[in-house]
Structure 1
């Protein structure tokens, strides 16, 4: 049992290290577009469903307004997004893709896809990893607080 509490045996550390490697991989793939990994996640969410409220986008990405607002502001100033305040409820701000984001989607996703393929992750392995991570995420979210 004593060996279980070494750094190399900690699942949290393995996930942390893996997340760091993914960040490096995506940083390299996204650098030509001047995008960060979190900005890419914003684009992915909006490519799925454009014109969502800032609150909905934050919930989708699990990001608070303190992180999301400055990030989307930078993306607006770089021509990726635009914001529109609701005419019915001024408290709501909608976020939309700009033409640049729609136009660059194919080449961005191709760059990311090539970076992932360079890691030699087979399709079945990818599916298995996604399933296992989904189960782990569910268990972590549904734990009983102490």
Structure 2
């Protein structure tokens, strides 16, 4: 007889804390240079948090000369999160604002590179990303 594990219903499945549905999410806006905006994202990017991410990115694009989005603190990215990242990239392209992504985890790097995100300018650290956007 084969015993099957129950299906994974959410990221909280198997966690010790019963109320923890995802890691705490935050977007911090910084201004490291002249007209350059840095968004530092931490936590899970999923259906519950994509609206916050897109809203912060779109407001940063207004009036910015360049945008760097640091995804170094992202622990999980769902399909809705991936669509949100594509939307931010599309909005930056439409506004002609240079956009660079800081991606430190191998899983997120593969997700962005293997889903046809050829337009994504991905870097391993902030310094390289800031240099890329000027």
Same fold, TM-score > 0.5, yes or no: no
- TM normalised by structure 1 equals 0.23
Max Rg structure: 1
Is the strand fraction higher in 1 or 2? 2
Is the helix fraction higher in 1 or 2? 1
- TM normalised by structure 2 equals 0.24
